[in-house]
């Protein structure tokens, strides 16, 4: 085929340890790994789209209302089941 050449990529250069890229990461001590983790966490947190104060208030209100409704439903069900159990076994 015209215009297509076979190219072979050169292998990555390896250090004296023969580990290549992985060698730098493997040579890090526990504090180096902790620092890397911290830097990665901070980098990810910078990508987060934080809600505005109004959105946060709306979300919090929705969650609180939902929790209160579920608590009321469970309270009524518990009361009803306890009355049925008292009637059957009482």
Average pLDDT over residues 40-50: 94
pLDDT over 90 at 37, yes or no? yes
Region for residue 70 given its phi and psi (left: phi exceeds 0; alpha: psi -120 to 50; beta: otherwise):
alpha
Whether 8 shows a pLDDT value over 60: the answer reads no
Over residues 54-61, the mean pLDDT reads 98
CA-based Rg of the chain, rounded to a whole angstrom?
A: 31
C-alpha span between 54 and 2 (Å, rounded): 63
Does the pLDDT of residue 22 top 80, yes or no?
no
Higher pLDDT: 61 or 13? It is 61
Q: How far is CA 79 from the centre of its chain?
A: 38
């Amino acid at each position: 085929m015209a215009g297509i050449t076979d190219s072979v990529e050169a292998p990555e250069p390896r250090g004296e340890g023969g580990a290549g890229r992985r060698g730098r990461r493997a040579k890090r001590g526990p504090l180096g790994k902790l620092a890397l983790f911290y830097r990665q966490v901070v980098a990810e947190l910078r990508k987060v789209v934080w809600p505005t104060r109004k959105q946060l208030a709306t979300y919090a209100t929705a969650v609180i209302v939902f929790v209160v409704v579920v608590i009321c439903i469970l309270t009524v069900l518990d009361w009803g089941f306890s009355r049925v159990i008292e009637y059957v076994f009482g």
